[in-house]
């Protein structure tokens, strides 16, 4: 059996390793346009800010390791077309220009995603010097270099999602004047409601970040190099501009496949597409979202790795690995805020047409008689009629960190559990760690009309 893998980052690497570990006899040929694989782009901001001392530490695999396992790996090769009827791919060698046709028995599509352009902007403006993207290792090298350049004094980050906020923090740590611009009126609105973003925005402003929220970018000023960002409400000096407005799935090579509205490939729990003998994994796919009860793209490295495993199991006809659903579990640690969310925010649930309500509390994480305790904020979003949990957010400050409870709530969403069912799961109480009615249970009780929190003990 011959398997062609298109794309070799997190999802592709996961699939190749699993394919060959389970079945060393399978013939695996992998193609990628890049010069490297397995780069953890989520660590770019850590490298810019100096937490990660060597950006090369963000790699966890390489071509040699895959070849040692038995794979044929062809870097700097661009797959330009796929013929699912003939079961062939056309590939261009980016170094020599040579075009070849290769055949497969089964194909795993892991072409990933690419940063979006700023809507309505003249594409030529993105060609100005010091207008950059944040995705690849090559981007990371330049972004790190710019952080230490004396001539880079002001930085504008376009997009207040996770990557944008992390970069804003990283460049501020480097002593730069930072402006964070977004068309949305709040930071990270996709994952968190205003109870959490309000605190984060206050901390960002306190630490010197200029927030230009609710503003549309319309132009970049500058002749050869960028000098300012122009929005519909103001102009902001910028020696460096980083575009972080989101990502689009790279699925143009499979026009006949079933897709969602944004172009992501719809797959089943084993990562099979609507095309026979074609699997798809990683950022290019839309998995079944347990909160929405439909397929949706959630581009996270955790999902990429899981989908790679599931596809390899399926291709090898080995049972036991399926991605039945996701909840979009994520986290961020910036400006002393420890935040995690899963499922849908209340704003996102309402925007999708769901009839939901929410329960939000701020409570001590341990009994107040312990003297040393921290404050934790939690919000549960649930269907009004069924009380089914569809979203959860949790946050704290500094050394107080309870983000890992989001795993428990993500599982509850995946299993379609209601608030009463979650309330009666078997948990422990110990004053050193939590309260008899811990913050999750207290938020659930509040949702059903039993308010057992102690607001007088809470300070924010």
Model confidence over 387-401: pLDDT tens digits? Answer: 999 999 999 999 999
- Tokens encoding 46: 């850590």
What is the Cα–Cα distance from 235 to 215, expressed in whole angstroms? 11
Distances (CA, A) of 409 to 360, 395, 405, 422: 15, 14, 7, 8
Decide if 2-34+76-114+248-315 and 123-243 have a common fold: yes
For 307, the 3-state DSSP assignment is: helix
What integer pLDDT is reported at residue 417 of this predicted model?
A: 98
Q: Is residue 333 annotated as a catalytic residue, yes or no?
A: no
What integer pLDDT is reported at residue 457 of this predicted model?
A: 44
Identify the DSSP state of 246.
-
What integer pLDDT is reported at residue 100 of this predicted model?
A: 97
What is the Cα–Cα distance from 293 to 270, expressed in whole angstroms? 17
Mean pLDDT by 10 residues, the chain (460 residues): 97 98 98 96 94 94 96 98 98 98 98 94 92 96 94 97 97 97 95 97 97 97 96 97 96 98 97 98 98 96 96 97 97 97 97 97 93 94 98 96 96 98 94 93 93 56
What integer pLDDT is reported at residue 455 of this predicted model?
A: 56
Q: Which residues contact 449 (CB under 8 A, 6 or more apart)?
A: none
Say which CATH class 339-457 falls into.
alpha beta
Homologous superfamily of 123-243: FAD/NAD(P)-binding domain (3.50.50.60)
What is the Cα–Cα distance from 283 to 12, expressed in whole angstroms? 11
From 10, 77, 289, 402, active-site residue = 10
What integer pLDDT is reported at residue 460 of this predicted model?
A: 36
At residue 99, φ and ψ (nearest 5 deg) are -110, 130
Q: Which residues contact 430 (CB under 8 A, 6 or more apart)?
A: none
Cβ pair 311, 13 in contact under 8 A: no
Query: Span 2-34+76-114+248-315: which CATH code?
Result: 3.50.50.60
With tokens 């209340």, the residue in question is 346
Where do the domains of the chain lie?
2-34+76-114+248-315, 123-243, 339-457
What is the Cα–Cα distance from 12 to 256, expressed in whole angstroms? 22
Cβ pair 64, 20 in contact under 8 A: no
Instruction: List, as own/partner pairs, every contact residues 261-267 make where C-beta atoms lie below 8 angstroms and the sequence separation is at least 24, other chains included.
Output: 262/297, 264/295, 264/296, 264/297, 265/109, 266/295, 267/295, 267/307
What integer pLDDT is reported at residue 458 of this predicted model?
A: 44
Q: Is residue 397 annotated as a catalytic residue, yes or no?
A: no
What is the Cα–Cα distance from 20 to 91, expressed in whole angstroms? 23
What is the Cα–Cα distance from 325 to 269, expressed in whole angstroms? 7
Cβ pair 393, 339 in contact under 8 A: yes
The number of C-alpha atoms within 13 Å of 99 and in the hemisphere containing its C-beta is 5
């Amino acid at each position: 059996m011959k398997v062609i893998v298109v794309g070799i980052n997190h999802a592709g690497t996961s699939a190749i390793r699993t394919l060959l570990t389970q079945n060393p006899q399978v013939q695996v040929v992998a193609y990628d346009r890049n010069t490297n694989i397995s780069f953890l782009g989520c660590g770019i901001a850590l490298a810019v800010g100096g937490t990660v001392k060597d950006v090369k530490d963000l790699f966890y695999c390489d071509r040699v390791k895959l070849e040692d396992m038995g794979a044929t790996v062809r870097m700097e090769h661009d797959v330009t077309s796929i013929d699912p009827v003939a079961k062939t791919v056309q590939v261009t060698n980016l170094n020599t220009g040579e075009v070849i046709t290769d055949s497969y028995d089964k194909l795993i599509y892991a072409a990933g995603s690419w940063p979006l352009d700023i809507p309505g902007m003249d594409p030529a403006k993105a060609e100005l010097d010091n207008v950059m993207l944040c995705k690849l290792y090559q981007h990371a090298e330049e972004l790190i270099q710019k952080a230490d350049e004396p001539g880079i004094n002001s930085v504008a980050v376009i997009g207040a999602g996770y990557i944008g906020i992390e970069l804003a923090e990283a460049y501020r740590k480097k002593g730069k004047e930072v402006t964070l611009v977004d068309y949305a009126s709040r930071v990270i609105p996709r994952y968190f409601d205003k109870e959490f973003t309000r605190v984060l925005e206050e901390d960002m402003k306190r630490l010197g970040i200029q927030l230009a929220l609710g503003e549309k970018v319309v132009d970049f000023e500058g002749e050869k190099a960028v000098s300012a960002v122009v929005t519909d409400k103001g102009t902001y000096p910028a020696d460096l501009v980083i575009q972080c407005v989101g990502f689009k799935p790279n699925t143009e090579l499979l026009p006949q496949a079933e897709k969602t509205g944004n172009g992501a490939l719809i797959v089943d729990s084993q990562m099979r597409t609507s095309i026979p003998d074609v699997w798809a994994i990683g950022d290019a796919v839309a998995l079944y979202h347990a909160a929405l009860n439909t397929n949706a793209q959630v581009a996270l490295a955790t999902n990429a790795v899981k989908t790679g495993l599931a596809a390899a199991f399926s291709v090898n006809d080995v049972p036991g690995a399926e991605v039945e659903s996701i909840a979009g579990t994520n986290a961020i640690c910036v400006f002393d805020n420890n935040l995690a969310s899963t499922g849908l925010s209340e704003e996102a649930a309402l925007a999708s047409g769901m009839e939901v309500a929410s329960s939000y509390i701020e409570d001590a994480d341990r009994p107040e008689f312990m003297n040393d305790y921290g404050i934790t904020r939690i919000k549960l979003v649930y269907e009004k009629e069924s009380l089914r949990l569809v979203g959860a957010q949790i946050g704290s400050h500094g050394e107080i960190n309870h983000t890992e409870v989001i795993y428990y709530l993500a599982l509850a969403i995946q299993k379609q559990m209601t608030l009463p069912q979650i309330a009666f799961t078997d948990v422990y109480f110990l004053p050193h760690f939590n309260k008899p009615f811990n913050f999750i249970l207290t938020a659930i009780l509040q949702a059903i009309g039993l308010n057992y929190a102690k607001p007088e003990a809470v300070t924010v």
